[in-house]
Amino acid sequence: MPDVGEGLTEAEILKWYVQPGDTVTDGQVVCEVETAKAAVELPCPYDGVVHELRFPEGTTVDVGEVIISVEVAGGAAAEEQPQTAQPAAEEPAAKDAAASDEAEPQGRQPVLVGYGVAATSTKRRPRKQAPGAPAQEPAAAAIQGELNGHGAPAPAPEAPAPAPAPTTAPAGPRPLAKPPVRKLAKDLGVDLATVTPTGPGGTVTREDVHAAVSLAAASVGAPAAVPVQAPAPAPAAQPRPEAPAAPASGRETRIPIKGVRKATAQAMVGSAFTAPHVTEFVTVDVTRTMKLVEELKSDKDMAGLRVNPLLLIAKALLVAIKRNPEINASWDEAAQEIVVKHYVNLGIAAATPRGLIVPNIKDAHAKTLPQLAEALGELVATAREGKTTPAAMQGGTVTITNVGVFGVDTGTPILNPGESAILAVGAIKLQPWVHKGKVKPRQVTTLALSFDHRLVDGELGSKVLADVAAILEQPKRLITWA
């Protein structure tokens, strides 16, 4: 599983496009995986025949794990991840294993969205063993092999083994586990020293950590007879369910939190408890805007483009930001600075089958109305297909969330992390409204603007929201204010 960067440590295999025995070529897409950012297709960096698929669909795999092997020319099985040069037999010294791990890598490194630069020679050094504990060599070699992107070669330690080592756990004081597993254990409050390892060479796996959590929960909430049966459920907790599994009673369904949903939850919690949120509301008559939408649909310059109220709302927000540029900023905690941005990457919150994502339109401030309509159409279509790339969700400055499509009047949206403001658009409905001194049915909606009060004070936030409302009430201001 290649490392896509951005702090991602795992990905779920959604679909395999090849099976053992299929012929593959360099660059051919072999599977689709979902990270915490998006679902992307993974290319194969080899020409050959698929030898083995290591994991079934629906499995969440740590970065660095071998997921597929390919028989390349010469009959060698190449694993689809960064490879290192195999050690030769020219130096039979006891340090051959460490030297081979630091050898120059070969080929390009595949990433989740294509090919990256050539892999560097930087490798994790093998764990140092305490004197008199040679039984740890196989475990260290196995872990080092996984971290370097290939299976560990059969170790041939030359030092004599004075005494056998325990087989149930590593002899050293620090349990063997990969960084993602250590992070999982830390998040769940599990002491790795208390976990029984089942991985290669006595390593602790993700399933071991989950089994320890299940065992602890059973020992706390179960009757006195349960601890006698405690060791039995542990193996059953190891397989990762491919679909939400309902308990035998049928009254509850447990859905694993992973992928986009997990990343969204973490981001929203971080945003809500980091940025002091303020939300302001305004109800506005958008009858003229709705008439303009209908006129634009028949305009030949907008032919083939998707024209809807969201398009004009987005344009109104861009004009309001141009009139109040200080709102388009971010908070730099490390430098204790406010970073005002002279470009607008306009985020559009999109509900997809895999959860809420917020791709953004790059340099939206510089686009004409037809260009903005085209970009919006492509963004929505890509999001619905689940093909939004991680790059499309980075670098946003302000966001629009259209809760009105669900019939909701308004809401108090949470800021997308790193952004200063988010505009929620409510449902547009016919309501009684005082127009020219008389009560008439008019198209009315409610806007809600949440902003980071460290960056945006009440005056600035009110001005931006009032400008958006004024433009939607009188769309001709798109011309006079632009």
Annotated catalytic residues are 453
- Please name every residue paired with 204 in a beta bridge, in sequence order, or none if there are none: 177
How buried is residue 46: exposed, middle or buried, by Cβ count under 10 Å (0-12/13-18/19+)? buried
CA 5 to chain centroid, in Å, comes to 10
Asked whether 32 and 40 are in contact (CB, 8 A), the reply is yes
Q: What is the DSSP string of 68-130?
A: EEEE-TTS-EEESS-EEPPP-TT--STTHHHHHHTSPEESEEEETTEEEEEP-S--PPPPPPP
Contacts 24+ apart (CB under 8 A), 220-223: none
296 near 457, Cβ under 8 Å? no
Q: How far apart are the first and last CA of the chain?
A: 48
Longest dimension (CA), the chain: 99
State how far the alpha carbon of 219 is from the alpha carbons of 146, 206, 215, 251, 439, in Å: 34, 20, 6, 23, 67
